[in-house]
Amino acid sequence: MTELRLLALYPEQMNIYADRGNIVFLRRRCEWRGIGFEYAAAGPGERFEPGSHDLIYLGGGQDRDQRAVAADMVETKREALGTALADGAAVLAVCGGYQLLGHSYQLGEERLEGLGLVDLETVRKPGPRLIGNVAIEADLGSGKRTVAGFENHGGRTYLGSGEQPFGRVIKGFGNNGEDGLEGVKEGNLIGTYLHGPLLPKNAWLADHLIATALERRYGTRPDLEPLNDSLELAAHESARAAALD
């Protein structure tokens, strides 16, 4: 039986806005198609086998949560995550998790070291948190699509010159409120500030991740059976309208 193997990193600690709910959505979309779904988690102090997971998920967190996991993540996950990425595993990291993929998160005098797997840095600057509904335009290889969601972050993220964003901001702040870029995309890794029910609001993105993970495991990209997405499309439309109207 075809099976998707998902690994959640720090699902207890990094779950602000119920980011973990995205995993339930991935599971359902697999099960509705008769695709097996194997869930594994790696929390504080736990290591993982990079070849045993095809989709790795890391949610967002408050500064306090990030402080609690950052050093442990570097120590116990960096090497395996780097190997999994180099071997084509799909990775989705949201907000606080996205920030920790980079070199560092600077909060005033304090510097949280990140995984350094992606060339980006995050800094706190004077000014309000970047909060609100967002719409971005992203192209993951099948043409331009709108991704709609919600952001709430104090950190401003800046991509290194060789990095590509996940998308371009149509409405909202994105990485820093200045350069019009949102998130990062490197190989099969996506980092984004879009929180909470990101995947239920953007079902095509969930299917993109599922197809990428299955391709990594089985060698060919599957043609995923279409599902009845009337509710998901309504959720997308509502989130898009909240940002744009």
Instruction: State the residues that interact with ligand GLN by CB under 6 A.
Output: 16, 60-63, 66, 95-96, 99, 152-155
Judged by beta carbon, residue 211 or residue 242, the one nearer ligand GLN is 242
Query: Coil, strand, or helix at residue 104?
Result: strand
In angstroms, the CA 67 to CA 62 distance is 9
Phi/psi for 39 (5° steps) reads -105, 135
Smallest gap from residue 227 Cβ to ligand GLN (A): 29
Smallest gap from residue 65 Cβ to ligand GLN (A): 7
Q: Amino acid identity, residue 225?
A: E
Judged by beta carbon, residue 195 or residue 216, the one nearer ligand GLN is 195
Tell me, yes or no, if 195 is annotated catalytic.
Answer: yes
- CB nearest ligand GLN: which residue? 60
Of 190, 193, 202, 105, the C-alpha closest to 147 is 202
Catalytic residue from among 30, 53, 95, 236: 95
Tell me, yes or no, if 95 is annotated catalytic.
Answer: yes
Q: Amino acid identity, residue 92?
A: L
Whether residue 50 contacts residue 42, with contact meaning beta carbons closer than 8 Å, is answered with no
Judged by beta carbon, residue 153 or residue 216, the one nearer ligand GLN is 153
Smallest gap from residue 202 Cβ to ligand GLN (A): 18
In angstroms, the CA 239 to CA 237 distance is 6
Residues labelled catalytic: 95, 195
